[in-house]
Amino acid sequence: MTRLFGTDGIRGVANEDLTPKLAYDLGRATASHLLGGKGRILVGQDTRRSGDMLVAAVAAGAMSLGVDVDRLGVCPTPALALLTAEGGYSAGVMVSASHNPASDNGLKVVDGRGFKLDDVVEDELETHLLRADELAGPQNEHVGRMHDAHDLLQTYVERRMVLARSFSYSGRIVIDCANGSGCLVAPQILAGTGADVESWFNEPDGININLECGATAPEQAARAVTASNADIGFALDGDADRCVAIDEHGDVVDGDQLIGIIALDRLSRAQLHDGIVIASVLSNGGLERALTQAGGRLARTPVGDKYILEGMVMMGAGLGGEKSGHVIISEHTNAGDGIVTALEILSIVARTGRPLSELAAQIPLFPQQQRTIHVRHKDQWEADPTFARAVDDARASLDGVGRVLVRPSGTEPALRIMVEGEDHTRVSAVADQLAALAAERLN
């Protein structure tokens, strides 16, 4: 049986793959395995229409085993993580599919520290979930209750406002909220720096989250920066845990360069612990080269921000992240937080007086191409000799100065192929060849 938990919780098409019954069972499993049938959990959601349905199901499941549920409502995922940790909760559940389309939804569970669950605990929780119908619940006065906890979101806002007011930025900012959770808080927090903030895609209707906007489609924010003659722009994803930036020329600055800008700034001020940055196997080799040349070093983990955080904890690193725009700065948060990332970049721009384009130029990136191929046999790609041999040949063709990474998606039935090298034309050709062969051989 395919594992329910991927790299970022359970995801699927809402009301088809991700049903209310599955959400109900997760609520029961969480109440039983993580709370022992007592205590409180915090539940939040992004702006998807299916969120209300799935939150109700999670809450019903938890309450059926005697656990009280505080409903936070629409909130950024990092807000749920912070409030779970600081509010005395035993666990939190975020109903969100992050950057996925509106038709999808997801279930992310965090522990009482606000940390995403490690693989062992997820496997245990999944076992309980699959046997949720066998769990006997209490009756009458011992059944859990649900409470409205939306006012708690202001605690998150106040915490981020402290960071925003720790410096002054007088420029013009464009913020693309992806019609998601960031709509409620991001413009207000960024304005706390003193900036003139212009908000885009901040009118969620339940079906327009991430629709041709946000961190996975930053072209819209880039056009807005150019049209508004803004000094800088930021694009969040649907649950505001990712952020990519737009420089004053309208060029996109991705997560690798944002990590590099923060790391180089901290290295220059001797404020990067042991000079270590944690990044995933997908992060660009140009980031690693820039860090090494500046006296730092890059340690890589599997894909997924929970693995980034695990690596940070293990190595005592204060900074980590992914090319996608998940950036974790441990002094501020234990999760990817797109608003914190934006504030950190703004503070560097304000302190150094250097525009974002100049800061990003410190991290020249190697040409890199990624392909996502929907296949039936994503986990068996190494068992196909023709495709496996083609991957080996592709690696050899890059003459030792590039990388080929093939991995099954953790969130959808697909194979992901990344090719990196010094020659853009060659990199694109190799990526296309492998993608075509995967589609042919693995379906």
Q: Quote the CA–CA distance of 353 and 373 in Å, as a whole number.
A: 43
Contact 201, 213 (CB under 8 A): yes
Given the residues 50, 96, 98, 181, select the one marked as catalytic. 98
Backbone angles phi, psi at 236, to 5 degrees: -90, 170
Backbone angles phi, psi at 353, to 5 degrees: 75, 10
What is the length of the chain? 443
- Give Cα 276 distance to the centre of its chain: 21
Backbone angles phi, psi at 5, to 5 degrees: -80, 125
- Give Cα 102 distance to the centre of its chain: 16
Q: Quote the CA–CA distance of 90 and 87 in Å, as a whole number.
A: 9
In the three-class reduction of DSSP (H, G, I as helix; E, B as strand; rest coil), residue 279 is classed as: strand
Angle of helix 338-352 relative to helix 153-164, nearest 10 degrees, comes to: 10
DSSP code, position 1: -
DSSP code, position 31: I
DSSP 197-250: EEEES----SS-TTTT-STT-THHHHHHHHHHT-SEEEEE-TTS-BEEEE-TTS
**Rg of the chain's alpha carbons, rounded to an integer?**
22
Which residue spans within 142-182 are E strands per DSSP? 146-148, 172-176
Neighbours of 97 (CB within 10 A): 30
End-to-end C-alpha distance for the chain, whole angstroms: 18
Backbone angles phi, psi at 237, to 5 degrees: -100, -175
Residues 6+ away with beta carbon under 8 Å from 418: 282, 368, 369, 370, 403, 404, 405, 406, 431
Contact 65, 40 (CB under 8 A): no
Which residue spans within 306-360 are E strands per DSSP? 319-321, 327-329
Q: Quote the CA–CA distance of 90 and 113 in Å, as a whole number.
A: 8
Q: Active-site residue 166, yes or no?
A: no
* Catalytic residue numbers, as ranges: 98
